[in-house]
Amino acid sequence: MSRLSPLLVCAALAAAPLVAAEAPIELEAYNRTYTDLVGELEPYVADPVRVRLSSPSQSLTVRANRIHADPAPGGTLVGRLELDVVGKGALVADVDLGGIRQTFDDEILLPPQTLVVAGRARVERAAGGYRVTVLELPERVRVAVQSRLAVSVLNLCGSAELLTLGAVSCAGLEEALTRPAVPLPRETGEVFLPDTELGAEERARLDRLIAAAR
């Protein structure tokens, strides 16, 4: 679930705003609702079972964020971001059970949960704000979802498992449907944090961390 927002923006921030001795910081300007962040989700493949997952629309509300970071070698910063989120959206599953094909779609809920994203970045002062260069992100982040689609797909797969005397296996499918993996881009990128979206204390912490990383 991908554009550089909000998970990737926030993952970059996770490597940005505080020194080790300071408490986590919350960037209040990033607590808001984001829409249509992703498209394709990580597919489930366990031959002969293949399930292609996609989400044509989503709405994700970040209720709070907590950023932890430490200076690292080479003038970089490492840390993690905790995002308290809730949301909703649509999920489509194209199921292939060794030649038995069916498509399911349903509305999904993202119940209240905390996502944790680790990252490494470089932060520099720039005119009117801060430039964050994202250096490392995890390959994926799993998000808990609730939907009737999961029950329908699991029932279909369970029937196929019985009919084929175990030749079709549904092991791991439930997690793929209830905690789908959202792939994150592997390329690096830059995020600009304007001064207008940062408070005085947030800017002071950024400045201290930049100095500590030199």
The pLDDT value recorded for residue 188 is: 62
The pLDDT value recorded for residue 113 is: 97
* pLDDT of the chain, 214 residues: tens digit per residue: 444 454 555 555 554 444 444 677 788 888 999 998 888 899 999 888 999 999 999 999 999 998 888 888 777 888 888 999 999 999 999 999 888 899 999 999 999 999 998 988 888 899 999 998 888 889 889 999 999 999 999 999 988 888 887 778 888 899 999 999 998 866 667 888 899 988 898 888 888 888 877 7
Q: Is the pTM of this model over 0.85?
A: no
The pLDDT value recorded for residue 212 is: 79
Angle made by CA atoms 112, 116, 121, in degrees to the nearest 5: 140
Burial per residue of 133-168, b for 16 or more beta-carbon CB atoms within 10 angstroms, e otherwise: bbbebeeebebebebebbebbeebbeebbeeeeeeb
The pLDDT value recorded for residue 153 is: 93
The pLDDT value recorded for residue 63 is: 96
The tokens of 200 are what?
A: 């005085």
